[in-house]
């Protein structure tokens, strides 16, 4: 079992399989001028599978596939099929923007995927276009309904942004009335790849909670699962529930159980860490599995106490990369 120097057990890998995306959410990446990784810089599917296999052998029992948009990378389904067959992997989940996902849902179900996170910041078509710079709301909603119809657990992620989607908080909570979804509101973080926009924490988790309570005064606290990054609530009588993720406040680092692997094979032990360990070069230089394991153990032993410590160590100039390079 992988354990860091604070005694936190690491059993969860978030794997970003591409930096590319078919949306341009303004809080994540600039609309133009993105320097996409070329193919040789990306980990191949075989390299990813090998690293996942090594990590599962070290106690990683849950893997989340993310990106960029995972479903824009060719041949992801055969990769997921091989990954889902890894002995020791208990849970394989995906985070997607839902634009091209709906037709793939039956295949995801066949592969045993039980839970998908879907990003959706607004139910209003014009605001969707303003935020993502693409007119794709209908396809995202189709994915949501298709996942529900296939009995796949849906967690909806909405980034809360001053002046952009505050009026959407109540309608998004209203979705939980008849749909069995977890609606999660996320504090905006400063990972937009240098776009001319700065996350401000104008809407921190406490303010988001106040806003929800104004519309739903009966909102009740419910139990937070182990290692949960969200504070969880429910409106009595609603089928679904509501979560608030203090991603910028960083109040959940004490129980962090995760590591991240970027599309170019950098192992990050904290979301706010803009350095990392280059596992791709290690693989391409012929490292044995034992050597790869040693590099992972070493990286985990250096995991920062929390996101503030990681950020102080690596962001002296306050510049943050795109979330599409880290995977959220
Ligand atoms: N493309 C997929 C999607 O959007 O679901 C997966 C990758 S995306 C980087 C993963 C998650 O990060 C999404 O839920 C997105 O809303 C979130 N995200 C991206 N940029 C963010 C930011 N600056 N602050 C907070 N969350 C962010
Ligand atoms: Fe693409 Fe997801 Fe980033 Fe939006 S948040 S631009 S969908 S990677």
Give the domain extent around 9: 2-326
Closest CA to 122 of 164, 162, 163: 164
What pLDDT does 261 receive?
98
pLDDT in tens, 207-265: 999 999 999 999 999 999 988 899 999 999 999 999 999 988 888 898 999 999 999 99
The number of distinct structural domains making up the chain is 1
Give first-to-last CA distance, the chain, whole Å: 24
- Within the chain, which residues score under 70 in pLDDT? 195-197, 315-319
Q: Residue 69: nearest ligand to its CA? A: 1
Contact 296, 268 (CB under 8 A): no
The pTM assigned to this predicted structure is 0.96
**Ligand 1 contact, 67 CB (< 6 A):** yes
Identify the CATH number of the domain in which residue 192 sits.
3.20.20.70
| Alpha carbon nearest to ligand 1 atom 25, residue | 188
Contact 92, 112 (CB under 8 A): yes
Query: For the chain, how many helices (H) and strands (E)?
Result: 10, 14
Q: Residue 189: nearest ligand to its CA? A: 1
159 alpha carbon – ligand 1 mean position (Å): 8
For 154-198, give the DSSP string: EEEEEEE-TTTSGGGHHHHHHHHHHS-EEEEEEE--S-BTT-S--
Contact 205, 235 (CB under 8 A): no
What pLDDT does 227 receive?
87
288 alpha carbon – ligand 1 mean position (Å): 34
What pLDDT does 283 receive?
98
What pLDDT does 97 receive?
98
Q: Residue 160: nearest ligand to its CA? A: 1
What pLDDT does 321 receive?
80
What pLDDT does 316 receive?
60
What pLDDT does 18 receive?
98
């Amino acid at each position: 079992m992988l354990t860091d120097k604070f005694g936190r057990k690491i059993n969860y890998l978030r794997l970003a399989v591409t930096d590319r995306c078919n949306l341009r959410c303004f809080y994540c990446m600039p609309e133009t001028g993105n320097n996409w990784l070329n193919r040789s810089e990306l980990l191949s599917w075989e390299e990813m599978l090998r690293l996942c296999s090594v990590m599962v052998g070290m106690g990683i029992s849950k893997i989340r596939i993310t990106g960029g948009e995972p479903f824009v990378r060719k041949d992801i389904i055969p990769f997921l099929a091989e990954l889902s067959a890894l002995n020791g992997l208990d849970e394989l989940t995906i985070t997607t923007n839902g634009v091209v996902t709906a037709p793939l849902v039956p295949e995801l179900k066949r592969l045993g995927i039980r839970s998908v996170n879907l990003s959706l910041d607004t139910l209003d078509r014009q605001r969707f276009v303003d935020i993502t710079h693409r007119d794709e709301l209908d396809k995202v909603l189709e994915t949501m309904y298709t996942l529900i119809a296939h009995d796949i657990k849906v967690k909806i992620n909405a980034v809360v942004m001053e002046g952009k989607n505050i009026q959407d908080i109540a309608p998004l909570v209203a979705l939980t009335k008849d749909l069995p979804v977890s609606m999660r509101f996320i504090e905006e973080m400063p990972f937009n790849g240098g776009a001319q926009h700065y996350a401000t924490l104008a809407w921190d988790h406490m303010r988001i909670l106040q806003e929800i309570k104004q519309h739903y005064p009966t909102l009740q606290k419910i139990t937070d699962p182990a290692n949960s990054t969200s504070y969880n609530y429910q409106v009595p009588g609603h089928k679904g529930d509501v979560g608030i993720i203090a991603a910028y406040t960083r109040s959940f680092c004490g129980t962090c159980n995760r590591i991240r692997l970027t599309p170019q094979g950098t192992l990050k032990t904290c979301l706010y860490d803009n350095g990392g360990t280059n596992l791709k070069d290690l693989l391409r230089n012929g490292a044995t599995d034992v050597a790869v394991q040693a590099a992972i153990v070493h990286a985990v032993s250096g995991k920062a106490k929390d996101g503030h410590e990681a950020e102080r160590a690596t962001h002296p100039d306050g510049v943050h990369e795109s979330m599409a390079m880290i995977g959220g």
